[in-house]
Structure 1
Amino acid sequence: MTTLHWLGLLLLAVIAGAVVPFQSAINANLGRGLGHPLWATLASLLVSILVLLPVILALRLPLPSLGFISKAPLWMWTGGAFGVCFISLALVLLPKLGASGFIALALSGQVLASLLLDHFGLFGLVERQLTAPRLLGVLMLIGGVALIQFSAAPTRALTAVG
């Protein structure tokens, strides 16, 4: 893999992370407007389908294998449930914790869970042992989360747009 390719992948990962607080803040407003966070979760997932289907059609992707669908282990179908969990919790927690607090805490949870997934090589991932430097990195991240969350008080009340 070339350095340019590697840097491109890193940039895409940063962009993937950067869209999350925007999604969460927008969906929090949508949830207030619709009367409940779960309605906003449903709306978000429906918009995802409406955006994704034309892309799939434009790329002329072949239909998935029915053989795989019938034989796939049950755990492979749980990703959507995790998505609902994240979107719904973001809708409820982001207005209370602020964007930076929520994202920092969510990132901490992602890193902790990722260390376990890597350490045990779960779901077909390559095993990457939990080492002292990796653990120190997580502890430093959690310290950073504490600084982000507890160093500033809110200065205004959050109101829905519209």
Structure 2
Amino acid sequence: MGWAILAVALGGVAIALQAPINAALGRGLGAPVPAAAVSFGVGFAVLFLVSLLQGQGAAFLRLGQVPVWTLVGGVLGAWYVFAAVWGVASLGVVTLVAALVFGQMAAALVIDATGSLGMAVREITPTRIAAAGMVLGGLVLSRL
């Protein structure tokens, strides 16, 4: 589990870097939506190439076999990238990331409690609620 936490923490570093980089791209292009589209396009190209290099290219041929609702992840990712590109200039990176993490924590509590989207039900303990509350506190403090 230690390596997984490290990998995810490095993903968090990437998110913190991605927002201002994409905002600079948006300024260069003069619009946030095209910047988000370019960011997604580059990400797609990288992931497609990695898939091919790992011998997983045939998986794309099974795309028609997956439930349509599973493609909503791309829409949600597009919203995230657009919101970050648009919001980072007015919020700053710390507040942006705090808001993102709080939103993730709130949604995660609901998903864990209900077992929705194919996830296992996990108990929502006072400690887990307090963790989300602490993130909310960090969000509030980041604006002072």
Distance 1:145 1:121 in 2: 27
- More helix, by proportion: 2
Shift of 1:50: 2.0
Q: Which runs of 4+ in 1 moved over 3 A?
A: 68-71
* Structure 1 partner of 2:143: 149
Structure 1 pair 84/118, CA: closer, same or farther in 2 (3 Å)? same
Do structure 1's residue 108 and structure 2's residue 102 form an aligned pair?
Answer: yes
Unaligned runs of 5+ in 2: none
Q: Check whether the contact 1:100–1:149 (CA below 8 A) recurs between aligned residues.
A: no
Q: 2:112 aligns with which of 96, 110, 118?
A: 118
| Contact 1:118 1:128 (C-alpha < 8 Å) held by counterparts | yes
- TM-score, normalized by length of structure 2? 0.93
Which residue of structure 1 lines up, in the alignment, with residue 75 of structure 2?
81
Give identity over the alignment, percent. Answer: 31
Number of residue pairs the alignment of both structures matches: 144
Superposition deviation, residue 93 in structure 1: 0.5
Q: Which has the larger radius of gyration?
A: 1
Structure 1 unaligned blocks of 5 or more:
1-5, 151-162
What root-mean-square deviation, in Å, do the aligned CA atoms of Structure 1 and Structure 2 show?
1.5
Deviation at 1:62, TM superposition (A): 4.5
Correspondence for 1:48: 43
Task: After superposition, give the CA deviation of every residue in 1:81-113 in whole Å (9 maximum; x if it has no partner).
Answer: 001100001011001000000000110000000
